[in-house]
Amino acid sequence: MVTSGERLDQTFAALADSTRRAILERLAHGEASVGEIAGPFHVSRPAISKHLRVLERAGLVRRAHEGRMSRCELEASPMREAADWVERYRVFWEGRLDALQRYVEQSAAPRQDEER
């Protein structure tokens, strides 16, 4: 059984590669065969298949076999989990930056003691 932390690790590892992100972007427009996915890339079909296996292990792609042809489809739910994780830290950092801004503004304002 894969834990949520392991699943998140797999998602971020899969998303770390620009070719895999491009594959996901293509699949966001609809399912495609391995050949259709491989078309715009200047790498071999076996290399694309390796990228697809990484995406499948991360749960980001589902592959269905129709005879000798494989059709791939985007499974976006792991990206939602990753986005939710990132969002928690975005909120944290925005709060920290807001606090820093208030501190700077208060420090820059003339103090009553200094005006006298």
- How many degrees, rounded to 5, is the angle at CA 34 between CA 30 and CA 39? 90
User: Which pLDDT value is given to residue 49?
Assistant: 93
Fold (topology level) of 1-109: Arc Repressor Mutant, subunit A (1.10.10)
pTM of the model: 0.74
CA separation for the pair 65, 49 (Å, rounded): 13
pLDDT tens digits for range 70-82: 899 999 899 999 9
User: Which pLDDT value is given to residue 115?
Assistant: 55
**Structural domain boundaries in the chain:** 1-109
Q: Pairing state of beta strands 69-74 and 61-66?
A: antiparallel
Tell me how far the alpha carbon of residue 57 is from its chain's centroid: 15
